[in-house]
Chain A
Amino acid sequence: MGILRWRAEKLPTVIRKDILNDTRVVTGASDALVEFRDVQFFRGDRAILDGLSLTIPRGKVTAIMGGSGCGKTTLLNLIGGRLRPSAGQVLVDGVSVPGLNTRDLFALRKRMGMLFQNGALLTDLDVFENVAFPIREHKRLPEPILRNVVLMKLEAVGLRGARDLMPAELSGGMARRVALARTISLEPMMVMYDEPFTGLDPISKGVIAKLIRELNTGLGITSILVSHDVADACAISDYAYLIGSGRVIGQGTPRQMQESAVDEVRQFMDGLPDGPVPYRYPAPGYLDDLLQGRRT
């Protein structure tokens, strides 16, 4: 990863500038914060994303749904610049992410937050220090102000009282809330949620859903929600994409999605075991397979 980026920086500046300028001209100030254009991404020979195009509007909650392993997390990593697409463009706020050098990429990342599946809290720091971490790294705030900022963020997720606990002492839901407080500590323009509901009890799920909504309406943070949990994702999102075999196979408001007549969308929304996504893993004929056992 780091090496790749290092190599990219060695590209002649002229070319890099061309890429940057080009994308800026094309997009301008649109109301799309994130835009994917014909993005392809290969891992080995396998295409994870294959000609994916989508736009994520500013100030909305957008859900990206899809089966396990369909490339949802890859998508977030492409937005964050941790991966580079094999082909196509990834634009964030009008800037092509793969064309950025390390410094510009880090500047962009300060403006976006990402909530990881299990929180990704730093296990050697307590809750307070975890939330303070990005602020300490990037800003020189006097200690009393820093303390207030951290306590405000913790209060926003209702965990001001848990400031002295270590991450190991937190439940899954609490860890995710602390991680959320940390994600918003630098006041980002957008937050990416990677499977925020997985493995939570109904109460914690409700809390997280409420927080995502509140942050969106209260602070105007653009939210990208990646999930395979149809009901929860639809309940809080303004717009939804369904991804399958590396492409967008359905999109619309949650209501439109629920009522869609497309087979792939129906199968996913209703959780049908068989359909366009087959129940069986490809295999030779059943009878032949069984008979072969007798012959040998």
Chain B
Amino acid sequence: MNPLRWLGKYVIDSIQGLGRASLFLLEVVSGSRKLVRRFDLVVQQVFAVGVLTLLIIVVSGLFVGMVLGLQGYHTLAKFGAADSLGLLVALSLVRELGPVVTALLFAGRAGSALTAEIGLMKATEQLAGMEMMAVNPIERVIAPRLVAGIIAMPLLATMFSAIGVLGGQLIGVGLLGVDSGAFWSQMQSGVSFHEDVLNGVIKSIVFGVVVTWIAVFQGHESVPTSEGVSRATNRTVVYSSLAVLALDFIMTALMFK
């Protein structure tokens, strides 16, 4: 096939895929209205995507905060502004690293698991079986997972940021000798709840929607073979990582002027 035709086909296929994914999201959202009466399904999924992702989030948050403390200190010390370390750590975490790194880890841990689970349910005809039992799998399987992802992501991201700040304090104050009072007071005077913390939370909610959406869509669309499921899992991680980074850029440009 000549490259021009290949490119044209690629573009058309991508647009068609986006359309399919959007219609799918529409279907899931309309199917999630019935979850009000079946909230136990959502709780179950919050456990699967949230609680089970907690450990990796806590550990990563701690290390990211510690690295920020270490790197930030040496850079700031050159300008004699080591007292601003707390501000640097907190702002980096709350605005960017918290939501973004959490979303990337979430895509790797929970997103891939969601895709594989739904893909295997499809491959083993569990979804078809539900349809034949007059149970709509979109409402029973997909919608609770999407809602759970949207609930879990901001919670995980705030935990990541909070742990990260503690990690930064551990290194900055504990190891490098930044004054504890300066560390916290600089942070408090520089970090705005409405502008920084809330915008970070909004970011992570958007990431929650996008990553979970991609994960459940890829699972639902996967070719029901072992190879198909593994490809779909792969796509989930790649697509959601790219989507998170691109959206982060756009939202940062809109939020922090």
Q: A residues touching B (Cβ–Cβ < 8 Å)? A: 2-3, 6, 80, 82, 102, 106-107, 109-110, 112-114, 116-118, 120-123, 133-134, 137-138, 179, 182, 186
Contact = CB atoms under 8 A, between A and B. Distances in A.
Interface in B113-170: 120-121, 124-126, 128-136, 138, 140
Contacts of B27: 2-3, 6
B238 interface: no
B77 interface: no
Interface string B22-50: 01100100000000000000000000000
B133 A134 contact: yes
A107 B136 CA distance: 12
Contacts, number: 63
Contacts of B132: 80, 82, 109, 112-114
Given A2-B27, A3-B23, A137-B140, A106 B126 contact: no
Interface of B: 20, 23-24, 27, 120-121, 124-126, 128-136, 138, 140
Given A82-B131, A133-B133, A137-B134, 13 more contacts: A2-B24, A3-B23, A6-B27, A80-B132, A82-B132, A107-B134, A109-B134, A112-B132, A113-B132, A116-B125, A122-B126, A133-B135, A182-B133
B124 A120 contact: yes
A114 B131 CA distance: 10
Contacts of A133: 133, 135
Contacts of B138: 2
Contacts of A120: 124-126, 128-129
A120 B129 CA distance: 6
B161 to A, nearest CB: 32
Nearest to A112: B132
21 contacts: A2-B136, A2-B138, A3-B20, A3-B27, A80-B131, A80-B132, A82-B128, A109-B134, A110-B134, A112-B132, A114-B132, A116-B125, A116-B129, A118-B125, A120-B128, A120-B129, A121-B129, A123-B124, A123-B126, A137-B134, A137-B135
Contacts of A106: 134, 136
Nearest to A113: B132
A120 B124 CA distance: 6
A183 B20 CA distance: 32
A112 B134 CA distance: 9
Nearest to B28: A2
Nearest to A117: B125
Contacts of B140: 137
B106 to A, nearest CB: 21
Nearest to B140: A137
A93 B169 CA distance: 72
A113 B23 CA distance: 29
A107 to B, nearest CB: 7
Contacts of B135: 133-134, 137-138
A219 B129 CA distance: 22
Contacts of A179: 129
